[in-house]
């Protein structure tokens, strides 16, 4: 699987915290880029974890804003790909809890539902 996480260790965390807030780990599908209106980097191979060469993106740490938009644009929490809860940085919960943005509240509820947080 492709390298993921700010420190490229398979987890969405960084000792100094990731400036992009790439805290939510999802099972990557090309629809993420399409739904969130980003260029199609989702289906392009990246450097592999633990082996040479390039590998497909399987799981990826996405920005909190992009995750919230993904849920909103996809039609809700039940319409998105799987979350990888053990790789997700629960700092996202704290950020979403302190936000007044409706889409962030939806993202918070989705993480709670999917990750039993």
C-alpha 71/C-alpha 109 separation (Å) is: 11
For residue 112, which phi and psi values (nearest 5 degrees)? -60, -45
Q: How far apart are CA 38 and CA 31, in angstroms?
A: 10
For residues 27-55, give the mean pLDDT: 86
Asked whether the predicted pLDDT for residue 18 surpasses 60, the reply is: no
pTM: 0.84
Whether 12 and 6 have beta carbons less than 8 Å apart is answered as: yes
Residue 105 has pLDDT above 60, yes or no: yes
pLDDT at 81 over 90: no
Domain ranges of the chain: 24-115
Q: What is the pLDDT of residue 67?
A: 94
What's the confidence (pLDDT) of residue 89?
A: 87
pLDDT score for 56: 86
Helices (H) and strands (E) in the chain, counts: 4, 4
What residue has token string 């990888």? 84
**Distance, CA of 80 to CA of 110 (rounded, Å):** 10
* 86 phi/psi in degrees, rounded to 5: -70, -10
């Amino acid at each position: 699987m492709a390298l993921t996480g700010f420190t490229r260790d398979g987890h969405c965390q960084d000792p100094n915290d990731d400036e992009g807030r790439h805290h939510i780990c999802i099972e990557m599908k090309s629809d993420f880029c399409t739904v969130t209106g980003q260029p199609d980097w989702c289906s392009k191979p990246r450097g592999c974890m633990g082996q040479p060469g390039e590998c497909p993106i399987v799981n990826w740490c996405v920005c909190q804003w992009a995750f919230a938009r993904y849920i909103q644009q996809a039609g809700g929490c039940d319409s998105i790909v799987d979350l990888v809860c053990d790789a997700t940085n629960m700092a996202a919960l704290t950020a979403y809890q302190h936000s007044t943005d409706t889409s962030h509240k939806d993202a918070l509820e989705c993480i709670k539902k999917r990750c039993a947080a």
